[in-house]
Structure 1
Amino acid sequence: MLLGKVSAALRWNGSQRSKLLDTSPTVIQELIKKHPESSPSLESSLMKGPIEEVDNVIFDSIDSIRIEKVARDLSGSGGPSGTDAETWQHILCSKQFKKKPELLKEAVAVLARKLCCQKIQPDHLKTYIAGRLIPLDKDPGVRPIGIGEVLRRIVGKAVMTTLKQDIIMNTAPMQLCGGLQGGVEAAIHAVRKIFEEESTEAILLVDAENAFNALNRNTALRNLRYTCPELFTYILNTYRQEANLFISNSDDHLQSQEGTTQGDTCALGWYALSLMPLLREVQVKQTEPETEPESDREPNTY
């Protein structure tokens, strides 16, 4: 509590404790089931049309100042390397190392801008996109918690803060997890208002199973060129190859081949953008006028 780690203190005293499961063969198989293999794209799900050109000058705002601000706001444990957010804050923001933190912040900013503007060889990013996987007891079942490398979380957060308005413009108001301020509260009030209307008979609650890991990654990547071209190059660099997920307290690892990768600060924004084609199609179908069956129509007279 003295360090400001309230969530960690609550977990330690048991009020929010989640039991860490042993990495038995059964648990490993459950983790594998929750990370399905890659599946091909359906032609009907792909967006088509002219692709908007992106001016790379929009990423010039990712500088050492933004990197420091993002690093100071991060928290949490480390990925496979074990270097946590607090250590990164120390080496990036401390005055103890004189001019070296400034040089490191500028190097991280250069990396971020390069990932946003250039296509990088996938093999060069294997360590960058790797994550640590922790199996928690869902009681019943297994809840996989992914922890990405802090460097990836810093760079991803810097990219997302730079493109925040672009993502909101391309997702709001239908998708509320794209960064729209007060979006969840607005949704709650809207649903409550609709529910209290006399014409409302019922509300259908739908929960997609394993949604983040089951998203078709190939389709989502190709459609991102249309839903948010500014974010496309960065997501392509970090998602066009499988990410190695190293299971805690085990020598085993598995690969994230579908959907988003837990521990990535860009995952929620990308997921929100990926669902936009589906949401727009549903909206169009809801606004289309109902047509009478052919048998119920009156015959044409001339």
Structure 2
Amino acid sequence: MGDVLVNEAGSSREVGVCSLDGFWPCPFRGFHCCPDGMTGSKGFPRLMAHIKRMHLSSDDRKSVLRDAVATNVDLFVSVGEALKVSGQWLCGTCMCVHALSRGCHHDTKVIRFNLVAGDVEEYVVGIAKPKVVRDVIPEGLVVVDEVLLDRVFSLPITTVKSIPHSCRMAFAQALRGALDKVIAMPESVEAWVRLLLLPRCTLRVFRPSSRQESRSGNRKSLQCLSIQRSLVAWGDREGFNDLILSLLAQPPRMTSHSDGPTAKVDNFVSCPNVKVCLRKVMDGHFTAAVKVLCSSGVAPFGKDTLRALVDKHPKLPPPTMPETLLSEPSLVTDADNVSGCIKAFPKGTSCGRDGLRAQHLLDAFCGEGSAISDGLLKAITCMVNLCLNGRCPKVLAEFVASAPLTPLLKPDNGIRPIAVGAIWRRLVSKVAMRGVGKEMAKYLGDFQYGVGISNGAEAVLHSANRFLNEFHSDGSLAMLTVDFTNAFNLVDRSTLLREVRTRCPSISLWVDFLYGQSASISGCGIDEMPPASA
């Protein structure tokens, strides 16, 4: 039975209190040399006991944490979530933790917990939820935050498919530096934003502006020069500022120069399917190239296409987050596993909104970049473990978890949206699936043929055909096939998150980060759709 809570008016209500069995990350991991601040830490099976013993053991520590909670909105929310799942509340006056049914006694009054809507801020009593305050930036310098990330992601920027050999060492160093900042300050939104901005800022495709620049040899050398200049500017604060401003100053849509060899090729290959087919052939995907030639192509950009996409991705309220504690620590991977997952991406894998391609990571490991490949791989592994442990700022979830949509046309003129997520998200998810894949395949057993079963769909088809051919000679059998309309987008996310927390808790924090907010679709996502080769 739940505990009886007494509010300020003297009424009572019953609520369930979560079990304290399991692991939970410490919200104060960045204070007092908390062991949960170490990469790969398991969290604590008795979180509140740890907080009281390490972080609230003296008046000085309480004072520091009170000021931090009152000024840092992310810390405030993290503390509230930990208190909520633990069934306790924090008195902001004395920084003491109490059971929900207990009051906090002071000389002149008794402060009690009052449950209203069950929001996390209700569990921190006496400290108002802080507002998001922007740092004061010198005049002329851009603010590196999620707003800037959204603006840059909305620009129609294309990144190179492969990094030129002469630029690989510089890019590997820039990537290593961005990763090191994330590892050192995982709570810093700016550090994560810089990591996500790196490919778009430094690996842009060079657009020739004259016939001479369009020549093959000149274009290659100018592409290398453009990347090298961008990487040099990236490492300097003022250079980074100029780099961002140059991106934001470009026209809304970029069109290639219509005079020169490129235009002749485009005129010769005017069919979009043929262009995509040629790219597939260059990547060695011959079966996919044949499929592209037979496809109906991409739906034209317009209100009808956007309306069809919105119908397939209805606006739903955010899911209910699971309140049970983790029964085991978050998954921790190693460098060999991460390396294998990076190499598992098919050749020619398309990029997400950030412009990073799997080939970019492979390029950074080879050639001149091989000199620092071990350190770079270690940094990527640490970043992956941070994501698995739920350390990526939640304000960036819509950028990391979202994906551009390519609306392919069906034979009946319907829309089949194809989503291409960011490489970082797909890499972390690959690692997560390797960690729980065998257990999940065993759990699902014979109830399905899609997860952990090689050629499962083909086996079902051939078995059904064989059965019909053998027993349907007299026409006495009938088969009913059922297809759910828009099934994937209508899955109950609350149930999904709850089942993941129960069945595979080691990846629960990562799944919560990806699917813990309401999904939506915006018109700007259509402008920057990746090619159909995704």
Specify the TM-score bucket, using the shorter chain as the normaliser.
Answer: 0.5 to 0.7
Alpha-carbon distance between aligned partners in 1 of 2:360 and 2:495, rounded to the nearest angstrom: 37
Equivalent AA in structure 2 for residue 250 of structure 1: D
Q: CA deviation at 1:245?
A: 5.5
Partner of 1:228: 504
Alpha-carbon distance between aligned partners in 2 of 1:106 and 1:127, rounded to the nearest angstrom: 24
Partner of 2:304: 26
Alpha-carbon distance between aligned partners in 2 of 1:87 and 1:40, rounded to the nearest angstrom: 34
Partner of 2:432: 159
| 8 Å contact from structure 1 (residues 41, 218) kept in 2 | yes
What is the TM-score with the length of structure 1 in the denominator?
A: 0.68
Partner of 1:268: none
Partner of 2:479: 203
Partner of 2:382: 110
Secondary structure in structure 1 of the residue aligned to 2:527: coil
- Cα-to-partner distance string for 1:234-271 (whole Å, 9 max, x where unaligned): 2112110245656565279xxxxxxxxxx9xxxxxxxx
Alpha-carbon distance between aligned partners in 2 of 1:87 and 1:10, rounded to the nearest angstrom: 27
Partner of 1:240: 516
Alpha-carbon distance between aligned partners in 2 of 1:230 and 1:74, rounded to the nearest angstrom: 23
- Cα-to-partner distance string for 1:169-190 (whole Å, 9 max, x where unaligned): 1212112111123533543454
Partner of 2:210: none
The residue correspondences of 1:1-302 to structure 2 (distance < 5 A) are 1-6=281-286, 9-10=289-290, 15-38=293-316, 53-56=327-330, 59-60=331-332, 62-75=333-346, 76-91=349-364, 93-118=365-390, 120-139=392-411, 140-188=413-461, 190-192=463-465, 194-195=467-468, 196-197=470-471, 201-242=477-518, 250=527
Alpha-carbon distance between aligned partners in 2 of 1:236 and 1:229, rounded to the nearest angstrom: 11
Equivalent AA in structure 2 for residue 175 of structure 1: Q
Consecutive unaligned residues of structure 1, counting only runs of 5 or more, are 253-262, 264-302
| 8 Å contact from structure 2 (residues 401, 421) kept in 1 | yes
Alpha-carbon distance between aligned partners in 2 of 1:244 and 1:96, rounded to the nearest angstrom: 42
Could you say which structure has the larger radius of gyration?
Answer: 2
Alpha-carbon distance between aligned partners in 2 of 1:19 and 1:208, rounded to the nearest angstrom: 24
Partner of 1:291: none
What is the TM-score with the length of structure 2 in the denominator?
A: 0.40
Q: Which moved more, 1:170-179 or 1:243-252?
A: 243-252
Q: CA deviation at 1:9?
A: 3.9
Q: CA deviation at 1:138?
A: 1.5
Alpha-carbon distance between aligned partners in 2 of 1:103 and 1:200, rounded to the nearest angstrom: 67
Flag the 1:41–1:157 CA change in 2: closer, same or farther, 3 A.
closer
Secondary structure in structure 2 of the residue aligned to 1:144: strand
Aligned residues with identical type, % of pairs: 23
Q: Which moved more, 1:107-116 or 1:28-37?
A: 107-116
Flag the 1:80–1:239 CA change in 2: closer, same or farther, 3 A.
same
Partner of 2:46: none
Q: Aligned pairs, how many?
A: 243
Flag the 1:106–1:41 CA change in 2: closer, same or farther, 3 A.
closer
RMSD across aligned positions (CA): 3.4
Partner of 1:293: none
